[in-house]
Structure formats: C-alpha cells, structure tokens
Amino acid sequence: MAQLVLTNADITINGVVLSDRANSVELNYEVDSVEVTAFGDVGHKFTGGLQNNTCTIEFMQDYAAGEVEATIYPLVGTQTTVTVRPGAQATSATNPLYTLTGTFLASHTPVAGAVGELAMTSLTFTGGALTKSTGA
C-alpha cells in the first residue's frame, strides 16, 4: 500500500481555488452518537445521528482581488461550500474529492502576525454535509 505525502492539496472555498495560499488543511468527518439504550440492555447502545463536520485551513494572507481576504471576508456568518482533494490531479479512487456543503464560517481574523512574520489566517468551517466522490 502506498503512503501519501501531502504536497499539493486542492482547496476551493465558495468556488474559488485557494490552494496556492494554504499550507495546512484538516477535514474532520464525524457523526454524532445518539444513545438508544433500552431497558434490559446490559450495555450502552448507540446509533448514528447528524453529521458534525469541521474543516480547518491555514492560509497565508493575501488581500488581492480573488484571493484569500476578498473570498473569505464576505462569508463570515454565512454558509458556503468547501472542497478538498489530497492532490490537484483528477478525482479518482486514489484522489477523492470531499465536498462540505452548507458549512458555516463563524469568524475570520483578517490581520494576524508579528514584525517580520508572514501574515496568516486560520479558518474553521463547522457543520454541513460531507460527501465523497471518486469520480466513478
């Protein structure tokens, strides 16, 4: 089995490709566990509930039109779509496309950094429905 070194992830937010401004991405796929334990059971039982997804992305800040700040600023307090692929190649079984639809962006830090440091912004998208496509 091959290992993957993440060197060219493909990241799109609200239809804008921002991969070349990101240096870290973490997509967490989670389903709430809902307890369904009943009388007579000898242990807890659970079933899957709602998806509880998050996507955290670290961006090198860029204020130019069509880049990070121009794309992100108007999305605060709204729902959007985020797509992530491990590589920039075509979607396939070995390069799946994950689409997080209806995800919410609660906050954004437009300016962050110290003297001589690269200006960065960290975004966390929460909620929404995650789907996986292999292009087949």
3-state SS record for the chain: CCCCCCCCCEEEECCEECHHHEEEEEEECCEEEEECCCCCCCCCCEEEEEECCEEEEEEECCCCCCCHHHHHHHHCCEEEEEEEECCCCCCECCECEEEEEEEEECCCCCCCCCCCCCCEEEEEEECCEEEEECCC
Predicted TM-score (pTM) of the model is 0.91
Tell me, what's the pLDDT at 4? 85
* List of domains in the chain: 10-31+49-133 (2.40.30)
Per-residue pLDDT of the chain (136 residues; tens, 9 = 90+): 578 888 999 999 999 999 999 999 999 999 999 999 999 999 999 999 999 999 999 999 999 998 999 999 999 999 999 999 999 899 999 999 999 999 999 999 999 999 999 999 999 999 999 999 998 7
